[in-house]
């Protein structure tokens, strides 16, 4: 099992975590999270974070590692992910890189050389104020002009990443995409992708959002506010938290909030397929409408036995 790494990718709500738990049990594995919101403590329900039972089934890494008001960068994530993967391999166990964050997944699998440009809070605040004043699209067009490759990767809706790319270009003197050269890590990697018919994905997402509300997502966001965490924090900008924050401020009703959360998750699915393309030959795709556990288990078994 030396230097083997299995990645499980795909859109939100497709069942990546459940598959990872089964593979971890079958192959003496440990799970390395690749979720940009599960890294934050106290953000549990809205991030679909593993519950205590799931955490007891297999060791998990890169979950609950920073407070909501602490900065956490892609460079930090990549470094910690490599540390976790190397440690798992050292102990002769199988690392399973699992998540739907394309930035996190590909930064690890492709070995991105991530710019080490420290945050410029004054510059960030000026761009945030500009986005609030004239709209996020102006910032996106600014990035298109400065770095079209990064703009295409990031997308026009991710204001935080747009600001970071502009910040890097300003601080480094060259573009974000130029700095992101790649040197693949020394792992023998198998990438498994889970997918489903779009209507089925949306149905699963809507059901999951309803369950999050039932499990107390509103109370969770209120508790975070009571703990002193501002709704304006980057950690609180994720889908679900942002909309519940608007509800708590009286800007929108609960039914409209729930509809908006579902809509934004549907939009997220479309964005995730830009990161994980069905035509990407590196990814072994499985449609969850079929029986997938047996074929995937057989594929992983063949993969880990090749060089043992």
Predicted pLDDT of residue 308: 54
- Residue 80's pLDDT band, with cuts at 50, 70 and 90, is very high
pLDDT at 61 (0 to 100): 98
pLDDT tens for each residue of 2-23? 699 999 999 999 999 999 999 9
Give 157 or 44, the one with higher predicted confidence. Answer: 44
Of the listed ranges 97-101, 183-187, 198-202, the one predicted with least confidence: 183-187
Q: How do residues 260-303 score in pLDDT, each as one tens digit?
A: 999 999 999 999 999 999 999 999 999 999 999 999 999 999 99
Residues 107-119, buried b or exposed e (16+ Cβ, 10 A)? Answer: bbbbbbebbebee
Average pLDDT, the chain: 91
Mean pLDDT for the stretch of residues 92-100: 97
**What topology does CATH give the domain 4-113+189-305?**
Rossmann fold (3.40.50)
Q: Which of 178, 141, 136 is nearest to 160 (CA)?
A: 136
Mean pLDDT over 199-206 rounds to 97
Q: Tell me the CATH class for 121-179.
A: mainly alpha
Q: Break the chain into its structural domains and give their ranges.
A: 4-113+189-305, 121-179
């Amino acid at each position: 099992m030396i230097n083997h790494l299995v990645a499980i990718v795909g859109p939100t709500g497709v069942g990546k975590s459940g598959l990872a738990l089964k593979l971890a049990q079958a192959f003496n594995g440990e799970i390395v999270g690749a979720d940009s919101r599960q890294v934050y403590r106290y953000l549990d329900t809205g991030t679909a974070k593993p519950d205590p039972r799931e955490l007891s089934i297999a060791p998990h890494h890169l979950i609950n590692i920073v407070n909501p008001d602490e900065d956490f960068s892609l460079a930090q994530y990549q470094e910690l992910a490599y540390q976790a993967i190397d440690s798992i391999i050292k102990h002769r166990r199988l690392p399973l890189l699992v998540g739907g964050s394309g930035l996190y997944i590909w930064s690890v699998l492709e070995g991105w050389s991530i710019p080490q440009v420290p945050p410029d809070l004054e510059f960030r605040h000026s761009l945030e104020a500009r986005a609030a004043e004239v709209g996020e699209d102006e910032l996106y067009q600014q990035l298109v002009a400065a770095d079209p490759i990064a703009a295409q990767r990031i997308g026009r809706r991710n204001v935080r990443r747009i600001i970071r790319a502009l910040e890097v270009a300003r601080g480094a003197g060259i573009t974000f995409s130029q700095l992101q050269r790649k040197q693949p890590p020394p792992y023998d990697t198998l990438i498994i992708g889970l997918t489903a018919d779009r209507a089925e994905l949306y149905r699963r997402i809507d059901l999951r959002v309803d369950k999050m509300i039932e499990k107390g997502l509103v109370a969770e966001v209120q508790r975070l506010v009571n703990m002193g965490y501002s709704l304006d924090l980057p950690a609180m900008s994720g889908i679900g938290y942002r909309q519940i924050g608007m509800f708590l401020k009286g800007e929108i009703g609960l039914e409209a909030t729930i509809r908006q959360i579902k809509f934004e998750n549907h939009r997220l699915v479309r964005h995730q397929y830009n990161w994980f393309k069905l035509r990407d030959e590196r990814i072994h795709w499985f449609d969850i409408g079929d029986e997938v556990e047996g074929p995937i288990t057989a594929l992983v078994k063949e993969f880990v036995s090749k060089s043992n």
